[in-house]
Every structure is written in C-alpha cells, then in structure tokens.
Amino acid sequence: MKPSEAAELVMMLLGAYPNAKSTAATGHVFESMLTDLDVRTAREAVKRLIATSKFMPSIAEIREECAAIDRAKAAAAARERSRRLFQRRRPRLTDSQLGTLGERALRLLPGGKVKKSG
C-alpha cells in the first residue's frame, strides 16, 4: 500500500479510538510498518479490529488480522479449485450408458440375470 493509504488507516484508528495516546511519531511508525501490506486486506483488518477491540490495536494485532484474512482467502480459493477440478473429472454418462452399467453390475451378482426390455 502507499504511504498515503497507510496514513488513512492510521486516521481511521485514531478516529475510532479518540482516547488512545498518539503522537506524530506513533503515526509515522504505524504508517511505515503497514506499507508492505495489501491495502484491501489491511483496510478489512482495521475495520474488523475496530468492531471487536476495546483499545487501539497494535501493529502486531493488525498484521495478525491481515494474516488471518489472507489464510481464509487462500482456503476459500483452494476449496474453489478443488470443486472445479472435481467437476471436470466427474464422468458424464448418458441414461443409456447408465442403464448398461446397471445391467453389468447386476450380472456380477450371484445368479444375476437381467431381462432385456424392449
């Protein structure tokens, strides 16, 4: 994220926690420690922390929340890839193919004879 976007997150935090002790140096440290994060993920993390924390979160708490969000996104993407892969590999059989397979399966049973319909 850009330094200006990190500054925006710091302003969000200071607005949500007006009693937090903050100096210009605090703001600069927060900004410098957050710039390597993805802006969307960091924004979502800050919003979640504002909604759940009684006190202004530390840099470490913001980074932990970003990591949790990234893990959740990665897990969702992996589930989606698995779902797509399964759909591609699942055989698509016609009704007549299914009927033929069913007849073959019945023949494998002891005494399994199938009457031909038609």
In a domain, 105, yes or no: no
pLDDT of 79: 86
In a domain, 100, yes or no: no
In a domain, 13, yes or no: yes
Domain containing 57 equals 3-89
pLDDT band at 25 (very low <50, low <70, confident <90, very high): very high
Q: Summarize pLDDT for 72-82 with one digit per residue, the tens.
A: 999 988 888 88
Q: Summarize pLDDT for 33-59 with one digit per residue, the tens.
A: 999 999 999 999 999 999 999 999 999
Encode the chain in three state secondary structure: CCHHHHHHHHHHHHHHCCCCCCCHHHHHHHHHHHCCCCHHHHHHHHHHHHHHCCCCCCHHHHHHHHHHHHHHHHHHHHHHHHHHHHHHHCCCCCHHHHHHHHHHHHHHCCCCCCCCCC
Number of domains in the chain: 1
